[in-house]
């Protein structure tokens, strides 16, 4: 049985490798970078993905570096009034079956990487960015950027937002620029002045902005994320999202909220992108996974989670289809297309919900104040998760 090739050794690619290895498939992961690693800061993990990580056998390992907040809190950034929360205690666990946690992206990626290294079915190769592929009736030939060639039974494109594999399969050009710019910073937890919500994952939302704060690395540090919907970008001006625009947009918020900007680095920002939901990810023995298939904005905190769900579903379909990879990949995408499309579109909606001003802000606040913090029914479709191999 020929090995399966995976383009990309990020969270999605490693999750797919591990899930396929658990089904007895040989896998070779081809990573573009010189070494396997993950950039970024904190990541939120809902109970839908906690369930998947448990099935992959890594959840217990990750818990040592994780933080389990006591609530998800939404606060109006202008008034600093708490509008609503989702309590993450016993009732939440009973409703969704697993806990919600936050973790550093490097810790999540490292846990998956170590688990892959323990599997004889998985080969990990760095400095192997996939440049092109060709198919024949029983195999896929991959050419890497350095000229190295591999032949496998199938190819999974888990090569991210700018995926070359996607361009060969779908050919839809560059991703959509949302016009949202993100600044991040991690500081020792004891440097945080306002400790009133230190045990929670807190989001402050205001006109064209929001700020997120939660602890990482077993509570040792505080992760801070400030996002702006750039007004300059909408006007087609230069320097969209620059540090001075960050200060300008945050100028109208409550002083206690604005004070949190001191924990955010100005050295770099990230520009958010997504794509319109696709109707197909598969071409013969090649399919897409994670951001290569369905890149999403950050506002549901479900980008990596959807990639991990993808991995478990894909592995199950491959195991069921034997050597018929096209059938397996079409079955996989049938199960995943609408769920991931809902995440993409819902994430756009919540980005607007966080960032509204004027009368829309007044309506948002009124509706949020009416919520029952112990009845997060709105999250059922997402957090109750998916079936894999007939089991939740």
* Tens-place pLDDT, residues 153-180: 999 999 999 999 999 999 999 999 999 9
pLDDT score at 389:
75
Token representation of residue 247: 């200060």
Residue 264 CB-half CA count within 13 A? 27
Question: Is the pLDDT at 41 greater than 90, yes or no?
Answer: no
Task: Give the pLDDT score at 244.
Answer: 97
Per-residue pLDDT band for 37 (boundaries 50, 70, 90) equals confident
Nearest to 55 by CA among 6, 19, 4, 11: 19
The percent of residues in the chain predicted with pLDDT above 90, rounded, is 94
Over residues 75-101, the mean pLDDT reads: 97
C-alpha 200 chain-centroid distance: 20
> Is residue 185 assigned to a domain?
no
Q: Which residues of 233-243 are buried (b: 16+ CB within 10 A; e: fewer)?
A: beeeeeebbbb
pLDDT of residue 388: 86
Answer yes or no: is pLDDT of 1 > 90. Answer: no
Helix (H, G, I), strand (E, B) or coil at 350: helix
Inside any domain, residue 187: no
- Condensed to tens digits (0 to 9), the pLDDT of residues 9-19 reads 999 999 999 99
Average pLDDT, the chain: 96
* Structure confidence at residue 39 (pLDDT): 75
pLDDT tens-digit map of 337-379: 999 999 999 999 999 999 999 999 999 999 999 999 889 999 9
Is 60 exceeded by the pLDDT of residue 42? yes
Q: Which domain holds residue 337?
A: 4-175+274-383
Grade residue 130 by pLDDT with cuts at 50, 70 and 90.
very high
- Residue 137, in any domain of the structure: yes
Is pLDDT at 333 greater than 70 in this prediction?
Answer: yes
- Answer yes or no: is pLDDT of 390 > 80: no
Query: What pLDDT is recorded for position 151?
Result: 97
Say what the pLDDT of residue 280 is.
Answer: 98
Is residue 261 domain-resident? no
Q: Is the dihedral of CA 123, 18, 294, 331 positive or negative?
A: positive
The percent of residues above 70 in pLDDT, for the chain, comes to 99
pLDDT in the model for residue 392: 52
Residues in the chain: 392
Instruction: Take residue 179 and report the two structure tokens written for it.
Output: 């016009």
Q: What is the mean pLDDT of residues 199-224?
A: 95
Pick from 51, 291, 320, 257: which is nearest to 161 by CA? 291
Residue 121 — φ and ψ, nearest 5°? -75, -15
Inform me whether the pLDDT recorded for 123 exceeds 70: yes
65 three-state secondary structure: coil
Q: What is the mean pLDDT of residues 309-332?
A: 97
The backbone torsions φ and ψ at residue 37, rounded to the nearest 5 degrees and listed phi first, read: -175, 180
User: Within a domain: residue 163?
Assistant: yes
If you compute the radius of gyration of the chain from its CA atoms, what whole number of angstroms results? 21
Q: Is residue 62 part of a domain?
A: yes
Is residue 34, in this structure, part of any structural domain at all?
yes
Q: Residues 75, 205: contact at Cβ < 8 Å?
A: yes
What's the number of CA atoms in the CB half-sphere (13 Å) around residue 333? Answer: 22
Phi, psi for 202 (deg, rounded to 5): -110, 135
Render pLDDT for 214-238 as a digit per residue (tens, 0 to 9).
999 989 999 999 999 999 999 999 9
Number of structural domains the chain divides into: 1
What lies within 8 Å, CB to CB, of 242 at 6+ separation is 232
Averaged pLDDT, 42-65: 96
Whichever domain contains 98, its CATH number is 3.50.50.60
């Amino acid at each position: 049985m020929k090995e399966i090739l995976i383009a990309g050794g990020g969270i999605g690619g490693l999750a797919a490798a591990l899930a396929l290895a658990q089904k007895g498939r040989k896998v070779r992961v081809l990573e573009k970078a010189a070494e396997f690693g993950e950039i970024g800061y904190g990541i939120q993990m809902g109970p839908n993905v906690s369930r998947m990580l448990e099935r992959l056998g890594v959840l217990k390992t990750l818990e040592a570096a994780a933080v389990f907040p006591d609530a998800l809190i939404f606060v109006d950034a202008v008034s600093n009034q708490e509008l609503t929360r989702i309590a993450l205690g016993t009732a939440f666990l009973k409703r969704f079956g697993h806990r919600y946690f936050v973790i550093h992206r490097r810790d999540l990626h490292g846990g998956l990487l170590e688990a892959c290294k323990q599997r004889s079915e998985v080969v990990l190769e760095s400095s192997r960015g996939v440049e092109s592929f060709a198919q024949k009736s029983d195999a896929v030939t991959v050419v890497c950027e350095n000229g190295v060639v591999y032949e496998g039974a199938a190819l999974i494109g888990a090569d991210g937002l700018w995926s070359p594999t996607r361009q060969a399969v779908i050919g839809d050009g560059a991703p959509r620029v949302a016009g949202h710019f993100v600044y991040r910073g991690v500081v020792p937890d004891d440097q945080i002045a306002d400790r009133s919500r230190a045990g929670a994952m807190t989001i402050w939302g205001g006109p064209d902005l929001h700020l997120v704060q939660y602890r990482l690395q077993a509570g040792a540090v505080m992760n801070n994320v400030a996002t702006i919907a750039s007004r300059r970008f909408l006007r087609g001006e230069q320097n969209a999202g620059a540090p001075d625009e960050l200060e300008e947009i945050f100028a109208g918020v409550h002083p206690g909220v604005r004070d949190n900007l001191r924990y955010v680095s100005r050295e770099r920002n990230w520009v958010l992108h997504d794509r319109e939901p696709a109707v197909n990810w598969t071409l013969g023995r090649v399919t897409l996974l994670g951001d290569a298939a369905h890149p999403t904005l950050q506002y549901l905190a479900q980008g990596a989670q959807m990639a991990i769900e993808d991995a478990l579903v894909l592995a199950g379909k491959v195991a069921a289809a034997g050597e018929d990879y096209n059938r397996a990949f079409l079955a996989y995408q049938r199960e995943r297309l609408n769920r991931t499309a809902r995440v993409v579109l819902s994430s756009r909606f919540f980005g607007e919900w966080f960032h509204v001003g004027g009368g829309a802000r007044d309506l948002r606040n009124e509706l949020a104040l009416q919520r029952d913090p112990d009845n997060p029914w709105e999250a059922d479709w997402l957090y109750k998760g998916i079936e894999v191999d007939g089991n939740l």
